[in-house]
């Protein structure tokens, strides 16, 4: 029984890592479609989000089966419940990558954002992809130094997010209403993606230490 | 044992209803602070969000205790796991109300949005408050007709959300970059609040019928 249980736990852990890989790829491809106004790629990313949703459902069903059949307690129980939370965060990261691709599709063949803003979004997307990669690494290693790295990467995203609003508020900003709205939404999507990565990092940290780390907070 | 378990389930159900009440009030007061540029009220709403977070933590801890001590299976187990998901949606609705109040605080003493847009946001906020009220009713009654009403209210929010983007894209739109960004974010917050209400409605519907209702979808 115990052996089956350990195999289940390991399977759930691997599915979380697989989800983190898929969302890293989703954001990488979504941003590529966005930056290059590549509608075929955008369509692919949008279609492939279903795979992430499917994986979440599969993981959640497995977790519920483990709860029903194995009746875990203490840290094992918290691990399973934590997995349900983490799969929800990862699924949401997939949605946000999809939203970026949907903006690319909506504005095709135009670019979504002005050239002056593109490098900032490029940097935010790269930080998001790095965070998704680190989330996989953290889930695998449970090394809390990686959790700290995720927080630091997310702090940089927040700074870039603020810089976008400063650019929109500057006297030089002369872009149209729709472009300003698209810039605002893109910045929000890229910023929220990082926040969900931090949520996973907090959860792993809690599961490892048994305590919420006050330095790992997300708003 | 069985009696204790039923009392626990009932307690969790009541806490969910209490959360739905708090988020309805939070959105009502947040929108009031936003519409009237009332910074004291905005501050109160922002401060009171901690109460919703606290209630979520309490509910989640209770759910984990029930899983550990009672080892529920079948529909009871799904109810508990579903409660964890619903508490997360409700907590997020509280965050979104807080974001609306934060915009009011950020722009004080100015109004956040132009007069021409205010009635649309007013209507969206009223629909949000109605959804939060219906969520409480649904959690209490498990009457799936109420779930349908929630979906219909949310469809109206989505239409208003689209109308905001049309207004921003119209030739008459001449507002500043920051105001356009604020309008975009406000619309997004009000729209997401409704989506989370639909998530709860879907979850209750699933728990009652054992099936996902294809008419109750949220993107």
Identity of the residue in B85, B173, B188 whose CB atom sits nearest the CB atom of A177: B173
Give the pLDDT band (50/70/90) at residue A215.
Answer: low
- Tell me the count of A-B CB pairs closer than 8 A: 72
What pLDDT sits at residue A219?
Answer: 35
The per-type count for chain A, helices as H runs and strands as E runs, is: 6, 0
Reply yes or no on whether the pLDDT at A55 is more than 50.
yes
As for how many domains chain A has, the answer is: 1
Q: What is this model's ipTM?
A: 0.93
Query: Is B46 domain-assigned?
Result: yes
How does DSSP classify residue A37?
T
CB contact under 8 A, A181 and B184: yes
Which chain A residue lies closest to B80 (C-alpha atoms)? A64
Angle at A5 between CA B74 and CA A21, to 5 degrees: 95
Residue count (chain B): 219
pLDDT at B137: 98
Structural tokens at position B149: 């009403």
Averaged pLDDT of chain B: 94
If pLDDT is split at 50, 70 and 90, which confidence band does B211 have? confident
How far is C-alpha A73 from the chain's CA centre? 29
In B, what residues contact A, Cβ < 8 A?
60, 63-64, 67-68, 71, 73-74, 77-78, 81, 84-85, 88, 165, 168-170, 173, 175-178, 180-181, 183-185, 188
Residue B216 lies in a domain: no
**pLDDT tens, position by position, A131-179:** 999 999 999 999 999 999 999 999 999 999 999 999 999 999 999 999 9
Provide, as residue numbers in chain A, all residues whose Cβ is less than 8 Å from the Cβ of B168. Answer: 177-178, 180-181
pLDDT confidence of residue B5: 86
pLDDT tens for B102-111 read: 999 999 999 9
CA angle B58, B59, B64 (to 5 degrees): 100
**Which CATH number do you get for residue B148?**
1.20.58.220
Q: Which domain holds residue B60?
A: 2-209
pLDDT score, position A216: 52
**Looking at the partner chain, which of A60, A74, A184 has a beta carbon nearest the beta carbon of B185?**
A184
Q: Which residues of A touch B70 (CB under 8 A)?
A: none
Measured CA to CA, the distance from residue A204 to residue B89 in angstroms comes to 21
The DSSP secondary-structure symbol of A117 reads T
The answer to whether A116 and A179 are in contact (CB under 8 A) is no
HEC string of B68-119 equals: HHHCCCHHHHHHHHHHHHHHHHHHHHHHHHHHHHHHHHHHCCCCCCCCCCHH
| Range with lowest mean pLDDT among A103-107, B162-166, B212-216 | B212-216
Q: Is residue B218 part of a domain?
A: no
Q: Do A168 and B188 touch (CB under 8 A)?
A: no
- What pLDDT, on a 0 to 100 scale, did the predictor assign at position A212? 64
A180–B173 CB contact, under 8 Å: no
Whether residue B14 lies inside any domain: the answer is yes
CA distance B55 to B51: 6
- Which tens digit of pLDDT belongs to each residue from B45-70? 999 999 999 999 999 999 999 999 99
Close Cβ partners of A157 (under 8 Å, ≥ 6 residues apart): A124, A127, A128, A131, A190, A191, A194
Please indicate, yes or no, if residue A111 is contained in any of the structural domains.
yes
Instruction: Give a yes or no: residue A216 inside a domain.
Output: no
- Position B215 scores a pLDDT of 57
Rounded Cα distance, A148 and A127, in Å: 14
Let me know if residue B215 belongs to a domain: no
Answer yes or no: is B58 within a domain: yes
pLDDT score of A217 more than 60: no
């Amino acid at each position: 029984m115990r052996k089956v249980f350990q195999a289940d736990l390991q399977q759930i852990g691997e599915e979380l890592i697989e989800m983190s890989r898929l969302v890293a790829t989703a954001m990488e491809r979504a941003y590529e479609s966005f930056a290059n106004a590549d509608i075929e790629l955008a369509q692919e990313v949008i279609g492939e989000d279903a795979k992430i949703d499917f994986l979440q459902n599969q993981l959640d069903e497995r977790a519920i089966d483990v709860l029903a059949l194995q009746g875990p307690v203490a840290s094992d129980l918290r691990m399973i419940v934590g997995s349900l939370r983490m799969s929800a965060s990862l699924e949401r990261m997939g949605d946000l990558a999809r939203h970026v691709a949907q903006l690319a599709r909506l504005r095709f063949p135009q670019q979504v954002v002005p050239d002056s803003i593109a490098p900032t979004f490029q940097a935010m997307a790269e930080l998001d992809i790095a965070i998704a990669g680190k989330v996989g690494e953290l889930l695998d290693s449970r090394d809390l130094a990686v959790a700290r790295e995720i927080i630091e990467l997310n702090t940089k995203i927040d700074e870039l997010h603020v810089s976008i609003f400063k650019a929109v508020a500057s006297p030089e900003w002369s872009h149209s209403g729709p472009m300003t709205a698209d810039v605002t939404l893109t910045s929000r999507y890229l910023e929220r993606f990082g926040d969900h990565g931090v949520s996973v990092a907090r959860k792993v940290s809690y599961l490892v230490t048994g305590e919420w780390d006050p330095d790992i907070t997300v708003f």
